């Protein structure tokens, strides 16, 4: 299944991610694809807001740390950035929480792929449910 959304600004991009977070079961791998500055980290901020990020935590890009982990009311959010290390073992985190991977082109373990593209109206977000996942979590559509 594929969904397309348009976000005119960062606030709308965050809202799209918050909406998606409502349907996550807690163990998905979300693969974010988009150009530099397209909004991948902003999307993860929206996921964190939707999952009710614990007070005192701020979502930041893990470009230099590769992995940032955040506690939420719905479990752990694991934010991985493959920009500097395309061979990083994402699979070792599967089952430990919701995983959001930036620069995930070619990654095989994606349950949901989120493509963010610049368009004249703002950003086009394409959400692709892979591996039998649907909008409501695990299971066939």
pLDDT in tens, 122-133: 999 999 999 665
Is the residue at 50 inside a domain?
yes
Of 12, 74, 66, 68, the residue nearest 43 (C-alpha): 12
- pLDDT score, position 134: 52
Q: Which residues make Cβ contacts (< 8 Å) with residue 15, sequence separation at least 6?
A: 7, 46
Beta bridge partners of 77: 70, 98
Instruction: List the domain range (segments joined by +) for residue 20.
Output: 2-129
- Is 141 inside any structural domain? no
In a domain, 138, yes or no: no
- Mean pLDDT, the chain, integer: 92
Evaluate whether residue 140 is within a structural domain. Answer: no
Q: How much is the average pLDDT of 96-119?
A: 96
Q: Report the number of distinct structural domains present in the chain.
A: 1
Q: Domain with 60 in it: what CATH number?
A: 3.40.50.300
Q: Give the pLDDT confidence score for residue 136 in this predicted structure.
A: 47
- Report whether pLDDT(40) > 90: yes
Q: What is the pTM of this model?
A: 0.90
140 vs 40, residue with greater confidence: 40
Is residue 67 domain-resident? yes
């Amino acid at each position: 299944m594929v969904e397309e959304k348009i976000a005119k600004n960062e606030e709308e991009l965050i809202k799209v991610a918050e909406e998606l977070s409502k349907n996550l079961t807690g163990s998905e791998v979300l693969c974010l694809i988009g150009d530099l500055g397209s909004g991948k980290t902003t999307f993860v901020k929206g996921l964190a807001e939707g999952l009710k990020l614990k007070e005192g935590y701020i979502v930041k890009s893990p470009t230099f740390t590769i992995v940032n982990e955040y506690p939420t009311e719905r479990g752990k959010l694991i934010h991985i950035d493959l920009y500097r290390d395309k061979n990083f073992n994402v699979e070792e985190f599967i089952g430990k929480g919701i995983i959001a991977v930036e620069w995930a082109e070619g990654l095989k373990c994606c349950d949901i792929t989120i493509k963010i593209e610049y368009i004249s109206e703002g950003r086009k977000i394409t959400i692709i449910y892979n591996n039998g996942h649907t909008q409501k979590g695990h299971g066939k559509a």
